[in-house]
Structure 1
């Protein structure tokens, strides 16, 4: 499991929720990795047609390639933890998604392998915001939903914690830390369904007696 934190705060609400996800994963016998995106990314995506190296590699000199190839691509499950900034993900989180283009674009020599390895993951989303307004998170949820569909991945859960000052999310009466721990414990096995009109399905969601 990879837990990507899109907040610049190392002890903020997103980080607190990320650690709760990791704790749940450890309880399930996993070895989660927490990575703060801004430790790896120092630049936004540029025009690959102009700045790509002759061997096809990205010319931006930061650690994104390390994060993408050594942590993201091998992960079975990825949880994106981001604060809500202007009703969207943080700039760090958006930059992560944008920078993946450099390696799945056809102009990268090994793009076919990258595309294959980007697919089939279990995806979770953990949000921190100071607003309780339900609509504040809808744009982000939709973005991750469409990313998951685009990559043939399973978007299995969303957790949202309310808080502003550092660590205040622990006071949220809806107990988002417990939800985050549950997401970490269950992400690899949690039931996922995304029905289409022609999807074969039984008359029950859960087995009788549950």
Structure 2
């Protein structure tokens, strides 16, 4: 079931702007349902401090401020979260992984009810790489994250390209982008 007002948060995890993954994500965004809101955040623009897990110290996650607060607010406001990360060493980029690490801290903020909030959302992925057989760890990372938080799983839109701009020559990916964000709600 589609939410009344969809708010898509696109989290760009590339180390360079305008790469193949972002190009593919922007192509898919052209076909979002009418009235859907979009917010794009490039993680390079909002760097996070290294994540520190304080659970074993029995210390609550520190108060959020700055870029962490911005990302937390954007995450909670969204109905749909799109992790757009190129394939780096067979999984998501370091900045995308760090963003997901922060979810661990947000789970333990008293009164936030992060896990319950995430249950209402859909998690999507977009990625590009040179070869087909390398995406399994990236897909597993995102899919298992969605399962753990009991989020709807939208799937991952995959494209091929090594050099900037090559993904536009991947006709099957460009075609798949047209229906990608409809898939989970068509069921």
With the length of structure 2 as denominator, give the TM-score of the two structures: 0.84
Which residue is 2:139 aligned to? 141
Query: 2:81 corresponds to which residue?
Result: 78
Question: Residue 168 of structure 2: which of 167, 170, 176 is its match?
Answer: 170
What is the CA distance between 1:5 and its match in structure 2? 1.1
Provide Cα deviations, 1:64-95, integer angstroms capped at 9, x if missing partner.
221121x1112111111111111111001100
2:71 maps to which of 54, 67, 71: 67
- Compared CA separation, residues 172 and 181, structure 1 to 2 (3 A): same
> Could you tell me how far apart the structure 1 residues matched to 2:141 and 2:60 are?
33
Partner of 1:182: 179
Gaps of 5+ in 1: 192-210
State which of 48, 51, 56 in structure 2 corresponds to 1:45.
51
* Runs of 4+ deviating beyond 4 Å: 49-56
Which structure would you say has the larger Rg?
1
Give the Cα separation in 2 of the matches to 1:34 and 1:94: 17
- Secondary structure of 1:88's partner? coil
Deviation digits for residues 99-154 of structure 1 (CA, Å, limit 9, x no counterpart): 1222211xx2324x22221222112111110123x2x1111111212111111111
Structure 2 unpaired stretches of 5+: 1-7
* Contact 2:54–2:61 (CA under 8 A) maintained in structure 1: no
Q: Which residue, 23, 28, 47 being the options, matches 2:30? A: 23
Q: What is the alpha-carbon distance in structure 2 between the residues aligned to residue 178 and residue 117 of structure 1? A: 32
Work out the CA distance in 2 between the residues paired with 1:18 and 1:177. 10
Q: Among residues 11, 22, 37, which one is paired with 2:18 in the alignment?
A: 11
Q: Secondary structure at the match of 2:147?
A: helix
Superposed CA RMSD: 2.5
Q: What is the TM-score when the length of structure 1 is the normalising length?
A: 0.76
Q: 1:190 to 1:3 in 2, by over 3 A?
A: farther
Over residues 152-200 of structure 1, what are the superposed CA-to-partner deviations in whole Å (9 max), with x where a residue is unaligned? 11112221111011111001132x133223223x156232xxxxxxxxx
| Matched residue count | 180
Give the structure 1 partner of residue 131 of structure 2.
131
